[in-house]
């Protein structure tokens, strides 16, 4: 039987990152992917003359060369060199604030510019916004420290260096923003990004939200010039250069065990031996279909059952036969939630009838060459907070997705005044079932489990030492300690690879 030091199952972001780290550390590593392409969510597809980015709107924590973020540093460490483009603004938001005020706010990058703009929209917000960014600095530094400590941070060091982080970490975003005395309209604008983490700001912890917003505003968002597919290919190339082996079109069906410890995997191409396996698949899927029941500790089943599947995406991709300029499109991303009350907006995501949330994205604003000359590309994304799509029969599936897509175009045209319908050359829709098929997650979730109060990023990072009790087996992905998103999953992959290397070193003693 073929034998490896480690098998990584799934070439999503976390799987590719873990595989690169292990290969770099000299481990004989096999990466197995069921699809014929790497990346999981991080990929692209073609329709006619358009190549559509499947998922990535904005990569957090890449940053400029002068102030590199964790992802830029990670890619450099791996030896991956891909051209990135900076997103010039943070977001535009069009919606109704909790105060009843109609808001149409376009926010810039850079802390000072962001605070100045907020003061224009919401006079009197300046001091609280400055406090928010100061606290954000501390939250980021604390998260980096906890990540590096492999889940065993020194409490005295934490108290000395991150006192305000400790004071606020366990509280929800809204609670801390209220404590900072931030005017409600400013909070509503600041909270625009909540859907990127899938949990409303009544439940999402402050440290998680603040860390993300802080990075987007301070270091800008970036996208790879050749879509996330280009970035995923670069990961695979580098992994292979480092001596790693990849099997595409291969599904791992079972993880194999001997005396309660991992001994390999059973795949559609045959069995492979390895004492360490990292699953880039959702634990629900693994426990239900890939592991023998007797090796799964009761605690792990209870933990998985207590968790809530996070957002499932619905995306409309449009290729238009006019340029962004000709159509009058000027914004890269526009968030159009039905309300800026994030708890109510979250509730509305739970049914087809009430879901009226859209994020529009025009790639050509950042990358004029994203589509052929004389054209542009747009996507509209919404999320579902529940298993809404299970009730759609196969007969009604196409009709339902087309109706929702049409409703999205109507809303966009109404809110922005930009007309699209006459210029659509290609249209494609991905529903939660599309994602379930391509990434093999329960109900198509692409964010793993909700990082709500009790299951927050902080709680997960602090449980790293107890969370992987099955000898030889670890999980990495959006469901993991860092939560969803490109930066979180790349960093999660590196972290889980490091924990695996630590186990291997201890075994070798």
Ligand X SMILES: Cc1cc2nc3c(=O)[nH]c(=O)nc-3n(C[C@H](O)[C@H](O)[C@H](O)COP(=O)(O)OP(=O)(O)OC[C@H]3O[C@@H](n4cnc5c(N)ncnc54)[C@H](O)[C@@H]3O)c2cc1C
- For ligand X, the binding residues (CB under 6 A) are 9-15, 32-35, 40-42, 55-60, 251-252, 280-281, 313, 315, 381, 435, 439-441, 446-447, 477-478, 484-487, 489
Which residue's CB is nearer to ligand X, number 274 or number 439? 439
Which residue's CB is nearer to ligand X, number 355 or number 487? 487
Which residue's CB is nearer to ligand X, number 186 or number 464? 464
Minimum CB separation from ligand X for residue 490, in Å? 8
Phi, psi of 461 (to 5 degrees): -65, -35
- 263 by Cβ neighbours in 10 Å (0-12 / 13-18 / 19+) ranks as middle
Minimum CB separation from ligand X for residue 439, in Å? 4
Minimum CB separation from ligand X for residue 440, in Å? 4
Cα–Cα distance measured from residue 79 to residue 66, given in angstroms and rounded to the nearest whole number: 18
Q: Give the β-pairing of 312-320 and 84-86.
A: unpaired
Asked if 294 contacts 427 with a C-beta cutoff of 8 angstroms, the reply is no
The angle at the Cα of 46, spanning 368 to 198, to the nearest 5 degrees, equals 80
Minimum CB separation from ligand X for residue 156, in Å? 34
Q: Give the β-pairing of 89-96 and 261-267.
A: unpaired
Minimum CB separation from ligand X for residue 92, in Å? 15
User: What are the residues facing 318 on neighbouring strands?
Assistant: 378, 427
Which residue's CB is nearer to ligand X, number 87 or number 501? 87
Helical segments of 331-429, H only: 342-348, 394-416
Overall residue count recorded for the chain in this entry: 509
Indicate the helix (H) or strand (E) that contains 50.
strand 50-53
Which residue's CB is nearer to ligand X, number 186 or number 252? 252
Which residue's CB is nearer to ligand X, number 92 or number 184? 92
Closest CA to 485 of 11, 14, 171: 14
Residues 6 or more apart in contact with residue 476 via CB below 8 angstroms: 8, 14, 15, 17, 18, 278, 279, 280, 489, 492, 493, 495, 496, 497
Minimum CB separation from ligand X for residue 102, in Å? 26
Residues 6 or more apart in contact with residue 141 via CB below 8 angstroms: 161, 162, 165
For every residue of 279-317, DSSP letters joined together read E-S-HHHIIIIIS-GGGS-HHHHHHHHHS-B--EEEEEE
Which residue's CB is nearer to ligand X, number 185 or number 331? 331
Asked if 17 contacts 74 with a C-beta cutoff of 8 angstroms, the reply is yes
Which residue's CB is nearer to ligand X, number 183 or number 481? 481
Minimum CB separation from ligand X for residue 108, in Å? 19
Minimum CB separation from ligand X for residue 427, in Å? 16
For every residue of 355-368, DSSP letters joined together read ---EEEEEGGGT-T
Minimum CB separation from ligand X for residue 346, in Å? 17
Phi, psi of 464 (to 5 degrees): -55, -35
Which residue's CB is nearer to ligand X, number 375 or number 381? 381
Minimum CB separation from ligand X for residue 473, in Å? 14
Cα–Cα distance measured from residue 42 to residue 403, given in angstroms and rounded to the nearest whole number: 27
Which residue's CB is nearer to ligand X, number 35 or number 184? 35
């Amino acid at each position: 039987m073929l034998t490896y030091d480690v098998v990584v199952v799934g070439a999503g972001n976390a799987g590719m990152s873990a595989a690169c780290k292990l290969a770099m550390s000299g481990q004989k590593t096999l990466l197995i992917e069921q699809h014929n392409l790497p990346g999981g969510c991080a990929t692209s597809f073609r329709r006619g003359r358009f190549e559509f980015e499947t998922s990535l709107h904005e990569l957090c924590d890449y940053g400029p060369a002068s102030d590199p973020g964790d992802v830029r540093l990670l890619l450099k460490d791996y030896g991956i060199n891909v051209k990135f483009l900076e997103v010039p603004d943070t977001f535009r938001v069009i919606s109704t604030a909790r105060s009843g005020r109609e808001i149409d706010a376009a926010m810039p990058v850079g802390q000072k510019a962001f605070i100045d703009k907020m003061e224009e929209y919401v006079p009197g917000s300046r001091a609280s916004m400055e406090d928010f960014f100061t606290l954000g600095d501390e939250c980021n530094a604390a998260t980096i420290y906890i990540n590096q400590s492999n889940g065993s941070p020194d409490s005295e060091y934490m108290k000395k260096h991150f006192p305000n982080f400790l004071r606020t970490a366990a509280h929800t975003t809204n609670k801390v923003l209220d404590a900072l005395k931030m005017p409600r309209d400013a909070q509503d604008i600041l909270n625009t990004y909540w859907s990127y983490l899938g949990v409303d700001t009544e439940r999402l912890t402050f440290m998680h939200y603040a860390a993300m917003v802080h990075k987007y505003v301070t270091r800008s968002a970036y996208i790879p010039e050749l879509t996330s597919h280009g970035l995923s290919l670069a990961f695979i190339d580098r992994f292979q250069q480092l001596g790693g082996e990849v099997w595409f079109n291969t599904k791992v069906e079972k993880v194999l065990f001997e005396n309660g410890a991992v001994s390999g995997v059973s795949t559609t191409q045959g069995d492979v031996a390895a004492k360490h396996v990292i699953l880039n698949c959702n634990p629900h899927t693994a426990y239900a279909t890939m592991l023998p029941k007797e090796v799964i500790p009761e605690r792990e089943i209870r933990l998985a059952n207590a968790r809530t599947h996070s957002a499932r995406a619905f995306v409309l991709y449009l290729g238009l036969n006019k340029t962004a300029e000709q159509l009058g499109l000027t914004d890269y991303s526009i968030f159009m939630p039905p309300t800026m009350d994030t708890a109510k907006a979250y509730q509305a995501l739970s049914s087809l009838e009430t879901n009226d949330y859209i994020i529009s994205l025009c790639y050509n604003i950042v990358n004029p060459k994203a589509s052929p000359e004389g054209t542009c590309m747009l996507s509209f994304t919404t999320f579902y907070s529940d298993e809404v799509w299970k009730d759609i029969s196969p007969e009604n599936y196409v009709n339902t997705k087309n109706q929702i897509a049409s409703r999205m175009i109507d809303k966009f045209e109404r809110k922005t005044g930009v007309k699209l319908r006459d210029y659509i050359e290609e249209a494609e829709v991905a529903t939660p079932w599309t994602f379930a098929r391509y990434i093999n997650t329960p109900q198509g979730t692409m964010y793993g489990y909700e990082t709500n109060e009790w299951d927050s990023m902080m709680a997960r990072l602090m449980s790293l030492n107890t969370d992987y009790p099955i000898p030889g087996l670890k999980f990495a992905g959006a469901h993991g300690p860092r939560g969803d998103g490109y930066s979180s999953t790349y960093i999660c992959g590196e972290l889980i690879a490091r924990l695996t290397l630590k186990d291997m070193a201890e075994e070798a003693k």
